[in-house]
A and B are shown apart, each in its own frame.
Chain A
Amino acid sequence: MAKVKIEVPELTGRIEFPQMKEGATAATRCHVAKEKDMIALGFPATLVPDWKEKAVQKLDELLKKYKSLQVYLDICVKCGSCTDKCQFYLGTKDPRNMPVARQELLRKVYRRYLTLSGKVLGSLVDAEDLTKETLDEWYTYFHQCSECRRCSVFCPYGIDTAEITMAGREILDSIGYGQKYVTEIINKVYTIGNNLGMPGPAIQSTLDFLKEDLKETTGADVEFPMDVKGADVLLVTPSADFFASPHVESLAGYAKVFKQAGISWTLSSHASEAGNFGMFIGNFGVMRKVASRIREGIEEIKPKRLIHGECGHAWRIAYSFWNTLIGPFDSLDPKYPAPQHICEFTHDLIKRGALKLDKTANDEFVVTMHDSCNVARGARMGNSPGGQFEIPREIIRATCNKYVDMAPETIREKTYCCGGGGGILTDELIDIRIKGAMPRMQAYKAVKDSHGVNFLALICAICKAQFTKVLPYYGYPMEEVGGVHQLVGRAIVLGGKEGL
């Protein structure tokens, strides 16, 4: 395997419009899916011989199934509002990473085969034949998009490139041209139950280790229950929380919060994955099949409440899609939102004074927060719009003395993606990931220089994995990355005030 060429953008603390470089990342392409994973997901194992006809047929089918796709392929006026909004364009300088140019890859084929003007007038109206070159461009550039929806905020019609990217990937899968990373992970969920491929006993041993570790460091008995039928709360969290650092620290944080709340809770070895990469490939059936494990987990555990851990795309799916995919949640207690985010749960306890928090425990940190794209623009927390921004910040402020926000054009609904979302968190795309993280890194550097920030608080497993990998390339230690509940876990005074 050829070594991936890596170029790290220079950090200045400012996000500047790049001088465009055509084809800059045209050659950066992720690995093609393995046959066994494609077959497991119900796709052709390899590129089918009649791919051109099949691709156009699939596009036609998707146009009839998705209002978003049909409307968005028609109505773009190329005003240019989106052109400087994508972190992958800003980082790679490749104009094909401008949202409108990325959409155009699909749009020109749509026009050629599925619109009257394109059939009659052809290239006069930007209609182009589907060639192998175009197909490869789809593969390249639909995997340099993280489906973060930042462009859709600034589009006068709300055109969401994520919808186009998802359709593009769905077409590629349907003709046997899938991506290795995502299909491999979904197959792990199908066969083992979670993205990391950890069977129940492996999760149990992590939980046992965590429990012993907390006993040693804090002297307290913090439980990490699994598969406890009839527990009040079923916690569904990304499997990275059982394995990776700093993810595990947040898991410890959730456990401490539950202990202080005096609520019985459990994990499920069956519903052991909140993440759902089915969304990344835009396939409704795969997404529902992955999500159905959550439904089965509920049926097995019979909890009153369903609470969701720190993960961005997973929270979008849980909050916005679960009710459609696997609802209704009639067996749960209707007094509580279903699902409920762990931040909503913790925030509620803090508001009611049910948690004792010692802010000085985090005095070594000056904290800032990166809003995860899918939480910011694809979901909500709390009862009012924008709660997904306020609730985590209020939690952080309750757990530490020093908090600063990054520049306003880089947070909240205008937040940049970490650069690793949407199914591109794979080693062969590291150059794209580093460049995609550039805008966030510039904003991070600015608050480091002005306020001495040294902790980047996150609420997403992909953000955590991406930044621990990417920060060192920019010269910052990976230990500066952590979860919001890592801060909660450190500040919480165990036994300080128990029960509700």
Chain B
Amino acid sequence: MLTIVFTAMAYGAVFVFVAGFLAKMYKYAKTPSPLKIPTTPAPLNPIGAGIRVLGDVIFFKSLFKGNKWTWIGGIVFHYAFLLVILRHLRYFLYPVGWDMSLQNTGIYAGIVLPIAVLYLLMRRTTVDRTMFVSSLPDYFALALIFGIAVTGLLMKYYVRPFMVDVKGFIFGLATGHFSTVPLEPVFLLHLTLVMLLLVYFPFSKLVHAGGIFFSPTRHQCDNPREKRHINPWSPNLSA
């Protein structure tokens, strides 16, 4: 029974995440930009603008200009999270192959992740300006990821569910060869929180993960004199 519930929930969560996220990205992609509004100085061609966007995606360059303390917290948090996710690919791969080399790093990242969350929470609550603008959704996102990280670490160091069962269940979900869900409460809690995060993702500020690619001040290049930009909903003087 529990297996059916968790299997259904897992598919549902992944569906909501993928469909919701793609729908948002589609909406961003198709919404027009009537004017050229790159924040200048800006690169003069689309390739340069692409590099500028990647600078923000990979190095958080603008945040670095803005606030070094938030930058270091943000960088550590995001890269720790990324490594943890990459490490988890072992549950979807058979044989595990290349992902084996990431297992140790992934574990260290898993230890760093909740610490980074606490650091960001501390930033949020100790600076009067961020305290003023923070509210429930901001704390909820941090709490959710903290919960996921801590339940993950618990399984690594304390409760230790039988890994063959865990992999069997997850791999089964991925390939359609279903097997029973391991009845370890910490694992079920971990899984539930992950599904909650997936469902919450497309409807919250977490869509910044994709939205960053659609920010006109960053992805537009500076060439309005050379190339006439057309406003699609008012293309010329008579329209």
Listed in ascending order, the chain A residues whose CB lies under 8 Å from chain B are 17, 19-20, 63-68, 70-72, 74-85, 95, 98, 100-101, 104, 115-117, 124-126, 149, 152-160, 163, 284-285, 288, 292, 295, 319-321, 323-324, 326-328, 337-339, 376-380, 384-386, 388-389, 413
Contacts and interface: CB of A to CB of B under 8 A. Distances in A.
Contacts, number: 207
Given A154-B62, A156-B60, A66 B70 contact: no
Interface string B34-48: 111101111110000
Given A74-B205, A95-B132, A80 B39 contact: no
Contacts of B60: 156
B185 interface: no
A388 B27 contact: no
B228 A320 contact: no
A154 B65 contact: yes
A159 B132 contact: no
B216 to A, nearest CB: 5
Given A117-B203, A338-B225, A100 B133 contact: yes
Nearest to B60: A156
Nearest to B124: A80
- A-B pairs with the 4 shortest C-beta distances? A154-B66, A81-B66, A385-B41, A75-B211
7 contacts: A70-B31, A117-B204, A155-B66, A157-B212, A324-B34, A324-B35, A380-B42
Contacts of A153: 39, 62, 65-66
A126 to B, nearest CB: 5
Interface of B: 24, 27-28, 31-37, 39-44, 56, 60, 62-63, 65-67, 70, 74, 123-124, 127-130, 132-138, 203-205, 207-208, 211-212, 214-218, 222, 224-225, 228-231, 233-234, 237
Given A83-B130, A156-B74, A68 B208 contact: no
Given A377-B39, A380-B41, A156 B63 contact: yes
B73 to A, nearest CB: 9
A204 B14 CA distance: 71
A155 B233 CA distance: 28
A231 B97 CA distance: 74
Contacts of B35: 284, 320-321, 324
Contact of A386 (B41, B137, B234): B41
B66 A82 contact: yes
Contacts of B224: 319-321, 323-324
B33 A67 contact: yes
B195 to A, nearest CB: 17
Given A68-B33, A158-B62, A159-B215, A126 B135 contact: yes
Given A295-B237, A320-B37, A339-B225, 5 more contacts: A79-B130, A158-B218, A284-B34, A324-B229, A326-B237
A183 B225 CA distance: 29
A69 B66 CA distance: 22
